[in-house]
Amino acid sequence: MYGTIIKKSFCTFFGLFIMQVFVFEQQAFLDSLVQKLRAANKEDTSSVIALSSIATYYAFVQFESCPFYARQRQMIFQKK
């Protein structure tokens, strides 16, 4: 009985720890993309690539934000 409780507690703790690591890594990845966007020239190819990467990231994480970045990318792309 105690072995089962210990196994469940360990699995729960391990699962929560892993989720925390993934959440931190996702935020770090998004921060790096935003830094690339800020460093890029406003109408440069690197800003189009950064906006595409951010839109793709949000397509999987928070779909409501994806069209915003995709539209910004499209506006820059159409100017060229």
Nearest residue to 37 via CA among 58, 10, 60:
58
d(CA 75, CA 80): 9
Alpha-carbon gap, residue 35 to 29, rounded angstroms: 10
Question: Measured between alpha carbons, how far is 42 from 48 in angstroms, rounded to an integer?
Answer: 9
CA-to-CA distance for 23 and 40, rounded, in angstroms?
26
For the segment 20-55, what is each residue's pLDDT rounded down to a tens digit? 555 556 677 888 888 888 887 777 788 888 888 888
pTM above 0.85, yes or no: no
pLDDT tens digits along 14-29: 565 565 555 556 677 8
pLDDT confidence of 58, banded at 50, 70, 90?
confident
Give the residue extent of every domain in the chain: 2-79
Record the tokens describing residue 78, joined without a space: 């159409």
Compare 48 and 8 and report the one with higher pLDDT: 48
